């Protein structure tokens, strides 16, 4: 039932009827079932789940915040045991709880409160580490600093006092103490992997028609040195964002988006070659679209 709803939805409104069919006194159990099931599914399912539940909580008729938190607590209570069978669980959790925080459905403080058993099992640091990195990646360090302060959360909400200093140092979270987020950016920029995550975030920014200033600010904060790998990723993202569903190129849109490529290629011959390589690879991947 859970997977049928998540797999089948194209608009979150379609899921509200299914949620409302569940007796209100049992909906918290549905939250736990959904979240437990998502841990063994693909990323797209976890992201879809986040969309559905953000919408459901905002539509309080479908799901009250108290019911949601009750179900979330039940789910978090079992994380320490689930982690034995799903080793990457702490990388998965931000994909369905991160959007709930970004949508201001829950706060970091609230998450700590419903994760008491997890924290008692000394796994609170694992949860916080991956969640903060997710939030920084999705927004930036300045945003997370503001989020941290407004939530009135403390390090000791997630871990014992004896572990705080080491945790902050290892994860480079000093900016949440000294409020100098530029330090985090400059030291972490070279460690952000230029992988599918960067690809997806760039595509989100471009497809959502974010301004060039916004895109450039994100690149400056999260990428650091512009290299060949980044140019290949940027080229791929720009072209993908200009394709119709049948893979035909939207010429006018591509011409407009090429401004972004020009900005970072800067007439550098090596970067121009990487751009061509990326185009050839994408053509091959799409089986030579017209």
Q: Residue 96 contacts by C-beta under 8 Å, 6 or more apart in sequence?
A: 35, 38, 46, 47, 49, 50, 53
pLDDT band at 287 (very low <50, low <70, confident <90, very high): low
Which pair of structure tokens corresponds to residue 160?
């014992």
Q: For 8-54, give the DSSP string.
A: H-SSTHHHHHHHHHS-GGGHHHHHHHHHHHHTTS-HHHHHHHHHHHH
| Cβ-contact 28, 71 below 8 angstroms | yes
Q: Is the pLDDT of residue 86 over 80?
A: no
Which pair of structure tokens corresponds to residue 231?
């140019």
Mean pLDDT of 4-24: 57
- Cα Rg of the chain, angstroms: 21
Which CATH class name applies to 193-286?
mainly alpha
Which pair of structure tokens corresponds to residue 98?
């991160």
191 in helix, strand or coil? helix
Q: How far apart are CA 238 and CA 271, in angstroms?
A: 15
- pLDDT in the model for residue 243: 86
Q: How far apart are CA 152 and CA 235, in angstroms?
A: 41
Whether the domain at 1-186 and the domain at 193-286 fall into the same CATH topology: yes
Report which DSSP code applies to 157.
G
Domain ranges within the chain, ordered by starting residue: 1-186, 193-286
pLDDT tens, 180-205? 776 665 444 444 444 677 888 888 88
Helices (H), the chain: 2-8, 13-21, 27-38, 43-58, 65-77, 79-85, 89-102, 108-113, 116-120, 124-138, 141-151, 161-171, 175-178, 181-188, 196-207, 212-222, 228-240, 251-265, 269-285
Mean pLDDT of 265-275: 89
- pLDDT in the model for residue 186: 41
pTM of the predicted model, to two decimals?
0.62
Return the residue matching tokens 């990723």: 233
pLDDT tens, 30-83? 888 888 888 877 887 888 888 888 888 887 667 889 989 999 999 999 998 888
Q: Which CATH architecture has domain 1-186?
A: Alpha Horseshoe (1.25)
- pLDDT in the model for residue 10: 45
């Amino acid at each position: 039932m859970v997977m049928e709803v998540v797999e089948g939805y194209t608009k979150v409104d379609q899921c509200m009827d299914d949620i409302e069919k569940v007796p209100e006194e049992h909906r918290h159990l549905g939250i736990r079932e959904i979240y437990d099931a998502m841990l063994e599914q693909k990323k797209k399912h976890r992201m879809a789940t986040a969309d559905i539940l953000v919408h459901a909580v905002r539509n309080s008729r479908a799901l009250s915040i108290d019911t949601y938190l009750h179900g979330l607590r039940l789910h978090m209570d079992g994380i320490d045991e689930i982690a034995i069978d799903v080793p990457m669980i702490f990388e998965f959790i931000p994909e369905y709880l991160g959007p709930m925080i970004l949508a201001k459905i829950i706060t970091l403080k609230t998450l700590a409160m419903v994760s008491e058993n997890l924290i008692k099992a000394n796994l609170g640091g694992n949860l916080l580490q991956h969640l903060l990195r997710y939030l920084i990646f999705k927004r930036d360090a300045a945003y997370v600093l503001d989020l941290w302060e407004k939530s009135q959360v403390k390090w000791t909400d997630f871990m014992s006092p004896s572990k705080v200093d080491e945790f902050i140092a290892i994860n480079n979270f000093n900016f949440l103490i000294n409020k100098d987020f530029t330090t985090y950016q400059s030291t972490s920029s070279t460690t952000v992997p230029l992988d599918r995550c960067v690809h997806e975030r760039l595509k989100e920014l471009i497809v959502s028609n974010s301004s060039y200033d916004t895109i450039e600010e994100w690149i400056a904060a999260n990428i650091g040195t512009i290299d060949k790998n980044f140019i290949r990723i940027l080229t791929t993202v720009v072209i993908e964002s200009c394709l119709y569903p049948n893979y035909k190129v939207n010429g006018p849109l591509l011409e407009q988006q090429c401004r972004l490529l020009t900005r970072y290629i800067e007439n550098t011959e090596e970067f121009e070659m990487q751009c061509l390589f990326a185009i050839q690879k994408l053509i091959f991947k799409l089986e030579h679209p017209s």
